[in-house]
Amino acid sequence: MNETYSRINELPCAQATGPLTEGCIVLEGGSFRGLYTGGVLDTLMQHEINLSCTIGVSAGSMNGFNYTSGQIGRASRFNLRYRFNKAYVGRGAKKNNKGVIGFDIVFDDDKNDMEPFNKEVFDDPNRRFVAVVTNCDTGNAEYMEKGSCSDIFQAIRASASMPILSKPVEIDKKPYLDGGCAVAMGLEWALKEGYDKIVVVRTRDRSYRKSPVKGFEAFLQKLFYKRRYPDFYRVWSRAPYRYNILCDKIDQLEQEGRIFVIAPSEEVTVSRLEKDIEKLGDLYMLGKRDTEDNMDKLKEYLTKEEA
């Protein structure tokens, strides 16, 4: 199997320019389906669309912190370059980070050969960044924001730590896992914060809805969490139901013109831990194409005055 994406040299590598636009970008998770999000975000930055607030769930938080730092191409080049590095996905990740993803290699510039993370831009107080996590004790979603939470990078780890495959991440002596277990996307948070301009980036096409958890997956949920974290188990087991309600609300708000949605124009067949590097790279390119195709409408939405 080919381990290097054939078009990886086409991925951009630059620092975003242009002013901040007041608004919030809401990023769905989906593990390696987040390559679509990477294509979207890179294209936005290339068009100098830098929204002032980013909220991400799971893979959305992993993409989002690079958008907040304004580094075009960094997140997706990392995924396409390190997909088969065992320190990132594999035995090394499991050994060092107690989960399926090796966060050490992501956050430590000395452990990868990417361009250094632009902490100066990321730390700009005018740029808000929120990682959604799920509290294992309560089952509730918590919204951890840089500048106010104790460790935003620990929050990103928690947000992207898939249950069953990962041990809970401790923050302030409390256990947390993937934010998507409680909240699929941070849309409600963005609405409650009062943002007039909200861009939602999906990693599934608009028609996609989830089926109830059953069979072996339901058995594993019960086996791992019903006794130790009963509230987490109760919330996570009903995640598909909440997901479908949220998707219906997104469709409604999009039709009303209150939010702008960028979603795959084709059915996404990439799995959460996809190994076909060409499929992953092509999903990134789809994100770029879809964003370019919607650019004029997006700019109109962002500049339109509210009634």
Q: Which residues are catalytic?
A: 58, 178
Cross-strand pairs, 55: 26, 130
β-pairing, 174-178 with 198-201? Answer: unpaired
Q: What is the 3-state secondary structure (H, E, C) of 152-209?
A: HHHHHHHHCCCCCCCCCEEECCEEEEEHHHCCCCCHHHHHHCCCCCEEEECCCCCCCC
Q: What residues does 174 pair with on adjacent strands?
A: 171
Backbone torsions φ then ψ of 263, nearest 5 degrees: -135, 155
- Side chain identity at residue 220, one-letter code: L
CA neighbor of 263 nearest in space, from 30, 70, 13: 30
Q: How many CB atoms lie within 10 A of CB 283?
A: 25
Residue 302: count other Cβ atoms within 10 Å of its Cβ.
Answer: 16
Rounded to an integer, what distance in angstroms lies between the CA atom of residue 168 and that of residue 180? Answer: 14
In 3D, which of 57, 47, 68 has the Cα closest to residue 126?
A: 68
How many of the other CB atoms lie within 10 Å of CB of 262? 24
CA atoms within 13 A on the CB side of 73: 14
